[in-house]
């Protein structure tokens, strides 16, 4: 009678009683990704914490998304199971925790793979959590670093990568975590898009990328707000160190919003995709370039692309033995898709040291490479060069921020020997201050640069 009365009272009062009162758990892993060599075991530790008030038993299932030859297995409580065992169970007391290890070893085949681990409470089957662990082998040539925070923008990059002959893999930054300098070191090219995470780069990212470029890597970094976040003093993610990183590693700075920008076109000195002409938010793109950045060139940087407004859209630079291309807009927003794919494919081929079939450079014989003498100089220096064919030739002097201070030749056709003199003055006739400048010589679609030192 006492039990029945209690049930009746609950029904009459409308009190809901949870079917699994006191059942709850968390599932966490400190690291969810690794770049490693063939035959090297990566061990991911998963902490399953029973946060409920009653003991519980958990079912753990691992699902493979990796090459068939790779090994994936589970360990728990001192027992390591053979790879064919893909599901285990264990119990955990209230308030206690247990560790599950996910062991992944890439064997025979280079590439990338993932292990999806699902932990489900037997006390309440509705409580279930899944973690993904990714492994990429160091033999892959190109890495696509997905910084979209889970928005699936990688779909706009993958067609070009699939069309290339390069081995490539995707790294989900928000799931697999930060990449270290040793992990990046093996890739000949890295495409990193930061359209969805704030900040797009943190201190760890910048440190790893600096080492990567300095030691010979080729980096394409793109996304609206990537430069602004680090270089605009009004940004919550600004720091003097972050701004200096952009200046010295990427040869670039933030010049403000690119107001009114609706298109992008390559400049002759672009290191790749010199025929690029595309619309921001064009048909077939992601439509997410709502506030692109205008950039400035600094140090070794040179403007590589411009918006239709004339503002700098991309900067190419060298740092150490590597090179970079920073785009102030979301590359995934470019349309039509053929233009976007051509740009990305050209970068991949450039990173691999291959000529790009989508943007070939016509042959141009430099009978004499551009040189300046005297250099250092005061008050003037003469730039001399010789080309083997009649080509449109331009010679410009830029400051270290990439701004043109003097146009010495402006695209007129020339052939044979050319000599132009800079008298140390700007286009406005004023004498320029002492310092380092860059002479940019453009002949046809090929570019040479010379460092000029004006002394007083």
The DSSP-derived string for 89-149 is: EEEE-TT-EEEEEEEEE--SS-SEEEEEEEEEESS-TT-EEEEEEEEEETT-SEEEEE-SS
Pull the structure tokens for residue 122.
């037997």
- Whether residues 256 and 153 fall in one domain: yes
Taking the alpha carbons of 149, 150, 155, 158 in that order, is the dihedral positive or negative? positive
Q: Residue 327 pLDDT > 70, yes or no?
A: yes
CA separation, residue 337 to residues 281, 282, 332 (Å) = 11, 9, 9
Q: Residue 10 pLDDT > 60, yes or no?
A: no
Q: Quick one: how far is CA 129 from the chain centroid?
A: 29
- Whether residues 147 and 131 fall in one domain: no
- Could you report the per-residue pLDDT of 55-76, keeping only the tens digit for each? 999 999 999 999 999 999 999 9
- Whether residues 284 and 379 fall in one domain: no
- Whether residues 81 and 162 fall in one domain: no
Task: Give the model's pLDDT for residue 371.
Answer: 93
Q: Residue 18 pLDDT > 80, yes or no?
A: no
The answer to whether residue 96 is domain-embedded is yes
The residue-averaged pLDDT of 315-336 equals: 94
Q: With both helix axes pointing from N to C terminus, report the angle between 240-249 and 203-214 in degrees, rounded to the nearest 10.
A: 20
- Quick one: 188 exposed, middle or buried, by C-beta within 10 A (0-12, 13-18, 19+)? middle
Q: Residues with Cβ < 8 Å from 99, sequence gap 6 or more?
A: 45, 46, 47, 48, 76
Terminal-to-terminal C-alpha distance of the chain: 106
Domain-ending residue, one of 294, 324, 351: 351
- Could you report the per-residue pLDDT of 419-442, keeping only the tens digit for each? 999 999 999 999 999 988 888 787
The answer to whether residue 256 is domain-embedded is yes
The residue-averaged pLDDT of 8-22 equals: 48
Q: Which residues of 389-415 are buried (b: 16+ CB within 10 A; e: fewer)?
A: eebebbbbbbbbbbeebbebbeeeebe
| pLDDT classification of 363: cutoffs 50, 70, 90 | low
The answer to whether residue 361 is domain-embedded is no
Total number of domains in the chain: 3
- Whether residues 209 and 238 fall in one domain: yes
Q: For 93-97, 231-235, 315-319, 400-404, which range has the lowest pLDDT when averaged over its residues?
A: 400-404
Q: For 101-105, 316-320, 391-395, which range has the lowest pLDDT when averaged over its residues?
A: 391-395
The answer to whether residue 262 is domain-embedded is yes
Helix (H, G, I), strand (E, B) or coil at 206: helix
- Whether residues 131 and 144 fall in one domain: no
For residue 313, what is the domain's CATH number?
Answer: 3.40.50.880
For residue 383, what is the domain's CATH number?
Answer: 2.60.40.4070
Q: Quick one: how far is CA 214 from the chain centroid?
A: 16
Q: Residue 409 pLDDT > 90, yes or no?
A: no
- Could you report the per-residue pLDDT of 169-186, keeping only the tens digit for each? 999 999 999 999 999 998
**Residue 154 is part of which domain span?**
140-351
The larger pLDDT score, comparing residue 311 to residue 390, is at 311
Taking the alpha carbons of 30, 32, 34, 39 in that order, is the dihedral positive or negative? positive
Task: Give the model's pLDDT for residue 16.
Answer: 44
- Whether residues 446 and 308 fall in one domain: no
C-beta separation of 280 from 232 below 8 A: no
**pTM reported for the whole predicted model:** 0.74
The answer to whether residue 4 is domain-embedded is no
- Whether residues 153 and 276 fall in one domain: yes
Task: Give the model's pLDDT for residue 411.
Answer: 62
- Whether residues 127 and 58 fall in one domain: yes
The answer to whether residue 358 is domain-embedded is no
The rounded distance, in Å, linking the Cα atoms of 44 and 145 is: 21
- Whether residues 47 and 180 fall in one domain: no
Domain-ending residue, one of 292, 318, 351: 351
The answer to whether residue 179 is domain-embedded is yes
The larger pLDDT score, comparing residue 49 to residue 370, is at 49
């Amino acid at each position: 009678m006492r039990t029945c009365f209690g049930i009746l009272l609950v029904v009459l009062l409308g009190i809901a009683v949870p079917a699994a009162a006191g059942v709850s758990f968390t599932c966490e892993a400190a690291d969810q990704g690794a770049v490693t060599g063939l035959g090297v075991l990566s061990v991911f530790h998963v902490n399953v914490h029973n946060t409920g008030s009653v003991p519980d038993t958990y079912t753990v299932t691992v699902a493979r998304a990796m090459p068939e030859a790779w090994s994936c297995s589970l360990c728990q409580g001192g027992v390591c199971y053979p790879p064919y065992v893909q599901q285990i169970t264990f119990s955990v007391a209230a308030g206690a925790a247990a560790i599950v290890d996910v062991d992944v070893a890439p064997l025979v085949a280079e590439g990338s793979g993932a292990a999806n681990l699902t932990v489900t409470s037997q006390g309440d089957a509705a409580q279930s959590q899944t973690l993904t662990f990714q492994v990429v082998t160091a033999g892959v040539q190109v890495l696509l670093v997905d910084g979209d925070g889970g928005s699936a923008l990688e779909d706009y990059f993958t067609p070009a990568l699939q069309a290339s002959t390069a081995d490539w893999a995707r790294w989900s930054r928000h799931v697999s975590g930060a990449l270290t300098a040793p992990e990046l070191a093996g890739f000949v090219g890295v495409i990193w898009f930061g359209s969805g995470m704030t900040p797009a780069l943190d201190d760890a990212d910048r440190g790893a990328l600096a080492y990567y470029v300095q030691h010979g890597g080729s980096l394409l970094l793109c996304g609206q707000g990537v430069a602004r976040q680090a270089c605009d003093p009004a940004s919550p993610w600004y720091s003097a160190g972050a701004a200096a990183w952009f200046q010295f590693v990427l040869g670039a700075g933030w010049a403000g919003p690119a107001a009114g920008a609706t298109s992008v076109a390559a400049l002759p000195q672009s290191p790749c995709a010199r025929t690029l002409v595309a619309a921001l938010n064009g048909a077939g793109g992601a439509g997410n370039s709502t506030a692109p950045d205008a950039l400035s060139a600094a140090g070794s940087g040179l403007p590589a692309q411009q918006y239709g407004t004339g503002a700098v859209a991309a900067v190419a630079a060298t740092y150490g033995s590597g090179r970079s291309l920073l785009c102030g807009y979301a590359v995934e927003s470019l349309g039509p898709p053929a233009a976007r794919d051509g740009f990305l494919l050209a970068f991949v081929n450039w990173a691999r040291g291959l000529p790009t079939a989508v943007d070939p450079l016509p042959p141009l014989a430099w009978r004499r490479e551009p040189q300046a003498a005297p250099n250092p100089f005061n008050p003037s220096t003469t730039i001399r060069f010789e080309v083997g064919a009649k080509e449109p030739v331009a010679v410009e002097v830029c400051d270290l921020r990439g701004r043109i201070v003097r146009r010495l030749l402006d695209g007129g056709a020339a052939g044979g020997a050319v000599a132009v003199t800079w008298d140390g003055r700007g286009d406005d006739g004023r004498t320029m201050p002492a310092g380092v400048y860059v002479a940019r010589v453009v002949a046809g679609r090929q570019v040479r640069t010379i460092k000029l030192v004006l002394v007083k």
